[in-house]
Structure 1
């Protein structure tokens, strides 16, 4: 049996100053269409995670991000792809949000009120919730 190759994916956790997270729906025609996810996409040949995330967010949302360092790396085995997700927290961006792929977007506080959420995002949502619990009264979402 052949070993499945990982698809490398850069994912942005866009955080507003009030701690809200940006989620968008998977576009029509893609696997898991309509599921809520964090924005991002596949790395192209020779791209770093930050370069890919910067490109993808311009293409998908019309915004240019500030610094984006990798926060966590997870893997998820979907029926259509084995993905390695490089999660980056982003707190700075410029431009107006435009849903350029026919998707919806919402700013959400934890716990989320949108569903269904893409399965690969579930561990990250739990880690974010744990961070907030451990921060207590901290107002810094990072």
Structure 2
């Protein structure tokens, strides 16, 4: 079983910040859009993983007030999905992983095949959280 953690970073326009994965054939879902996150390392809690990954991938420090959305489990993966409302400027973020960042609204998300079946996760997020905020 692999344990992972991802985060839905949503701005005040209800757009989600997605990361275009590197185009390397040795990684899962190369060249596909993804929510930021990664594998939970030994001794880490899921929220610590998110904070580490956001620093490693996006250079974000002091990411606080994370909220757990859901835990998704499949045959080989348990994925902790957090969320945070935050307005970031993708143009000012220097990526250490991935090709680029871009905000997507729900309609754009529905038209884009995301890595790790995150289309389903994001559609549930909009239905259960954004709609009720």
Q: TM-score, normalised by structure 2?
A: 0.81
Question: Aligned residue pairs: how many?
Answer: 127
Alignment partner, residue 49 of structure 2: 52
Q: Choose the corresponding residue for 2:120, options 118, 123, 137.
A: 123
The answer for the alignment partner of 1:70 in structure 2 is: 68
Match of 2:3 in 1: 8
Deviations 1:3-39 (A, max 9, x none): xxx2111101001112110111122321111111100
Corresponding residue of 1:3: none
Deviation string 1:67-93 (CA, Å, 9 cap, x unpaired) is 21321011245xxxx221101011248
List gaps (5 residues or longer) in structure 2: none
Gaps of 5+ in 1: 1-5
RMSD in angstroms over aligned alpha carbons?
2.4
Q: Which has the higher helix share?
A: 2
After superposition, where does 1:88-127 map in structure 2 within 5 Å?
88-92=82-86, 96-112=92-108, 115-127=112-124
Which one of 12, 15, 24 corresponds to residue 17 of structure 1? 12
Scaled by the length of structure 1, what TM-score is found? 0.77
Q: Spell out structure 1 runs of 4+ moving beyond 6 A.
A: none
